[in-house]
Amino acid sequence: MKKLSFFLFLILTFHMNNAYAITTDLEKIYLENGEYTEATKAIQEGNTSFNKDIPLPTRLPPILFTHVFASFNQKSSQLTIYYLDENNGKKHYTLAIIPNDNDMSYPNDAKKVNLENGQEMVYFKRNDFITYRTVVNEFEYTFIVDKTSNKTIDVNGIMKIINSMIQKLSPGSKFN
C-alpha cells in the first residue's frame, strides 16, 4: 500500500509541476515580450488615450479560460483583450475595440442581425474563426471566436454579451 501511495504522490507531483510549467510558459510568451500586459493596465491605457471609459461587457461566454492578456496599441488606437485556455490551445476568444469611424466594411457573405435595442450586429466566418462586429457608445467592437468555441457560444450568446454592455450603459432600460 505504501508503494502505491508513493507512486500516486509522484504522479500528482509531476502533473502539478508540469501544469505550473505550462502556465509559466504561456505567461512568458504573452507578458515578457512587452506587447501584452494585464487586461486592467491595457484598459486603463485605452481609457486615458480616449479620455473616456471604454464600455466593456459584464458577461463572458460560457467557456473555460485560464488566462486573460491585453494590449493597447496607441498608434492604431486599438484595445485588444485575449482570453485563452492553457489546457486547450484550440479555444480562443478575443475582443478588439476601436473608436467608431463609421467606415466598417464586411465580406459579401456577412450576415446581419438586430440586437434587442435595434442596433445592428454583423457576423461572418473566415477560416476557423467567426467574427462578430457592432457599434456601442462610439466604439466598434469586434468579437472573434474560434471554430471550437463557436460550438459553445453562437450568435445568440454573443448578442447576450453585447446586450450586457448596453444594459450597463442604459440604466432603467427594458434590459434591466
Q: What is the pLDDT of residues 3-35, one digit of tens each?
A: 434 333 333 334 444 444 444 565 666 666 667
Q: Quote the pLDDT of residue 5.
A: 40
User: How many domains does the structure of the chain reveal?
Assistant: 2
Q: Quote the pLDDT of residue 116.
A: 80
18 lies in which domain range?
A: 1-33
Q: Are residues 71 and 156 in the same domain?
A: yes
Q: Quote the pLDDT of residue 149.
A: 79
Identify whether 131 is part of a domain. yes
Q: Are residues 72 and 87 in the same domain?
A: yes
Q: Quote the pLDDT of residue 102.
A: 67
Identify whether 59 is part of a domain. yes
Q: Are residues 15 and 43 in the same domain?
A: no
Q: Are residues 1 and 81 in the same domain?
A: no
Identify whether 5 is part of a domain. yes
Spans of the chain, pLDDT less than 50: 1-23, 173-176
Q: Are residues 29 and 97 in the same domain?
A: no
Q: Are residues 44 and 88 in the same domain?
A: yes
Q: Quote the pLDDT of residue 10.
A: 33
Q: Residue 130 maps to which CATH number?
A: 3.40.1000
DSSP-assigned letters across all residues of the chain? -HHHHHHHHHHHHHHHHHHHHHHHHHHHHHHTTSS-B-HHHHHHHHHHHHTSPPP--S---SS--SEEEEEEETTTTEEEEEEE-TT-TT-EEEEEEEE--S-----TT-EEEE-TTS-EEEEEEETTEEEEEEEETTEEEEEEEEHHHHTTS-HHHHHHHHHHHHHHHSTTSTT-
Q: Quote the pLDDT of residue 24.
A: 52
Q: Quote the pLDDT of residue 67.
A: 85
Identify whether 72 is part of a domain. yes
For the whole model, what pTM was predicted? Answer: 0.77
Q: Are residues 115 and 161 in the same domain?
A: yes
Identify whether 47 is part of a domain. yes
